[in-house]
Every structure is written in structure tokens, then in C-alpha cells.
Amino acid sequence: MIENGKLIVRGNTIMVWIGKQIEKFGVFINSWGSNMVIKNKTRVVTNPTAKFCNPFTIIIGFTVDNSDKYQIVLQGDYKERYKESVKDNSGDSILDMKEEELLITINEHKLEWFKKD
């Protein structure tokens, strides 16, 4: 169709709609795949430390991939371990745990990690 000196060529509106749906689906699949890669990539956890805030709360701090600092807060009844702990200069009690035990605990509570600001 020619209007005002311009040629207008009509396309297939159904194919345009199908193309847009496929495009949206592709964006969804791409973001889903990216999130899957991020969640499941290998991460290196180092420098685990644990301290008590009180007899019912343990804070475990650690470094992920040599740059990002994360923490886990565990709540429970830790009175016996709290009594055995040693106080540091800031008044917090340092939890006496082997590094291997700390790393196992960090791995078990992977969904509870939060990034420290």
C-alpha cells in the first residue's frame, strides 16, 4: 500500500506475536540459566571465626572467594560451650572450635549465609 509517497508493506501479525513470545521465553531461560550458574559455581571459603554474643547466639564469620565477607547467625542453647569459651578484648566470647568443624558448619548452613557490609 502506498500512502503519502511511502510504501507500507504489511507483515504477518501472528508471526510477530509468536516471535515476541519466543523472545520473552529466551530472556527468561537466559536469566534462569545465569542464576543457576551463580548459585552452583564452586566457591572457596577461608578464614572461619566463631564467637558468642550470648549463651544462645553464635556468629560465624568467613571469607568467600578471597574477597567477600559473609556471616551466619546460629541460635540455640549453647550454655555449656559458652561457659568454656574465652573472652576477648571486645567482651565477646570466642568459640573454641576446630577450623574443620567450622567449615562443616558453614557448609551445612549454606542457605543462611548473608553478606557482611
Distances (CA, A) of 55 to 34, 71, 106, 114: 41, 18, 20, 22
Q: How many CB atoms lie within 10 A of CB 108?
A: 10
Cβ atoms of residues 13 and 35 within 8 Å: no
Instruction: Give, for all 117 residues of the chain, the pLDDT tens digit.
Output: 777 877 767 788 888 899 899 999 999 999 988 888 888 888 899 989 888 888 888 899 999 988 899 999 999 888 888 777 777 666 667 777 788 888 999 999 988 999 887
Give every CB contact of residue 110 below 8 A, 6+ residues apart in sequence: none
